[in-house]
Structure 1
């Protein structure tokens, strides 16, 4: 489990893990509501909200089948939002396993020498920079995508219906299909704008939560394996002598080799 009081000892910054939400999801001491982890409940609400909004999309695919552009946009949004739900469910479902896996991000996981610490701290700096920029990029894109319809307030999207007629919809972030007429959609477009904004926010949070975890794990495992590879390269290069005979101590080399193999198994296990 990530220890916030020893944040400098991890490749993954526990502070940044809190901001992405990962820390709260894997933390068994997180506040509970009705016996359930409150962060898990929030994730469940996010998934339920997204699935509810997407429930009308298959009807939209049928209704807008004659409008290739709108159909492709709707299918793209639909698949991406479903992918976001899958990522959120995966993180929550395997939160206990993830808590164990994050041990590999400890700087002292397989080595305690200063050179290894320095290499892993460099990896920590890179990973922290990635998390910050990745999260900032996602939120900025979401913000820009949300504000765009407000900038072009008079812009309407014309969609060709299945019967050949055209409907005009007020431009919104995603213009998802809901079981309402175009007149109702335009009259309440601010409400639908907020709904689609929340839909985009749920997707952005799932993206940041899952993708940063995967990338940091790749960073950590790669760095740990690189240190082990360096140990393999240096094995036997340093002369180890028995003080009594002055001969090279083969047992010491064998012991070092076994230690390296155990470290390798520890990382890959």
Structure 2
């Protein structure tokens, strides 16, 4: 990758240098004792974040009394460890990734008649999506970091399920220490996440562009041949020259296609495990956030409301990350499969025998190559997986909201039952041994309860009770 020819690449080279992505991958970066200085700094902060993440499970025994806090910290642990794993994967494969990035160059493929406008369209799309993702990530980061400063006047008492109360004195006494640690961990998490996701985005965009370019070029092959060229011997030389040109073009295009598929295979080998782990954790985080939101609404606790606010700020970032991952890999699958249709769409019927043989070879090769990003043997990473995840999250949120509604109904039923039990309690008392004044008082209470028909009614005849609950 040559930084002097920035416009030849499908991504923004200046942005890559500002982020440090270029310096992390290039072999020409500043080194200390033979190690890239950027790698050393990243390993230090990555280890720091990993150690902090390993300290979280210490409080899980206590947090079992607070389901919301338990889900929150489990989500933090998984995401922090994942970001360290992402960055470690980039450092481990930095030399191979540097070679793989060649696919982002317009001149990576050797055929000279590819459409330059298509490259510019994909380049614009890639840069625009990258900027949108970075803006969303930074917005979530700043909202998360500055929220403690905005809410610093709030003193929250958290009551656990076991009846104990969490003291705020220890946290407030060491607030600045915890706050600095949170800032460092948040900066590392956001930076590692952005670096990995931007790198994955630009390679996916580049491979999609290269496959679409090859597909469009194959579709147009052979249509400069005229059936009339086959009539007469005067045009036989011209026809042979055209057939030779088409044959050479086919060889070049299929060779380019094989180079792109080779880069795709290398890319999958380096990123498959990390990408599938990211999809799983992003989906789990999505479920955690909606569950915490539903439980916070149920509890009505101020602390849970603040936590829900912070988590819902992060939700657009997780959604965008999950959507782009599923969408881009689905696009790669579509562009790769479109090569077969492109070979059929070419004017292969008017080609000579050797060109038809190459077309048949290309069809056989593409049918045999089923290289796809799969979560399982049957589940392919595409937009269908994203929509399935969204439906699953909505079903969980809906279920929790229904549970909240059912709890409210049960509380009403319990109160109604307690009200009617007063009359039975008066009868059950030892009123026969009481004096006349107490007996009159008990009789008055019975008449008052019999006269009081205050009940929760849905209509004039339908009372909110167990019968309505079962219906």
Q: TM-score range by the shorter chain?
A: 0.7 to 0.9
Gaps of 5+ in 1: 170-182
Who is 1:104 aligned against?
A: 103
Who is 2:208 aligned against?
A: 222
Who is 1:258 aligned against?
A: 251
Who is 1:13 aligned against?
A: 12
Who is 2:44 aligned against?
A: 45
- What is the Cα-based RMSD across aligned positions, in Å? 2.1
Query: Take 2:217 and 2:182, find their aligned partners in 1: how far apart are those partners?
Result: 52
Query: Take 1:60 and 1:149, find their aligned partners in 2: how far apart are those partners?
Result: 21
Task: Quote the offset at 1:244 in angstroms.
Answer: 6.0
Task: Quote the offset at 1:126 in angstroms.
Answer: 1.3
| Change in 2 beyond 3 A, CA 1:39/1:243 | farther
Who is 2:56 aligned against?
A: 57
Contact 1:105 1:217 in 2 (8 A): yes
Who is 1:127 aligned against?
A: 126
Q: Please report the TM-score for the alignment, with normalisation by the length of structure 1.
A: 0.87
Aligned residues: 255
Residue 185 of structure 2 is aligned to residue 193 of structure 1: no
Task: Quote the offset at 1:184 in angstroms.
Answer: 3.3
Residue 12 of structure 2 is aligned to residue 26 of structure 1: no
Q: Please report the TM-score for the alignment, with normalisation by the length of structure 2.
A: 0.51
Instruction: Report SS of the residue matched to 2:5.
Output: helix
Who is 2:384 aligned against?
A: none
Query: Take 1:51 and 1:157, find their aligned partners in 2: how far apart are those partners?
Result: 29
1:150-186 superposed Cα distances (whole Å, 9 cap, x missing partner): 11112245445696522134xxxxxxxxxxxxx3322
| Change in 2 beyond 3 A, CA 1:77/1:90 | same
Contact 1:12 1:128 in 2 (8 A): yes
Instruction: Report SS of the residue matched to 2:57.
Output: helix
Task: Quote the offset at 1:105 in angstroms.
Answer: 0.2
Task: Quote the offset at 1:256 in angstroms.
Answer: 1.8
Query: Take 2:47 and 2:196, find their aligned partners in 1: how far apart are those partners?
Result: 18
Who is 2:217 aligned against?
A: 231
Contact 1:84 1:207 in 2 (8 A): yes
Who is 2:237 aligned against?
A: 245
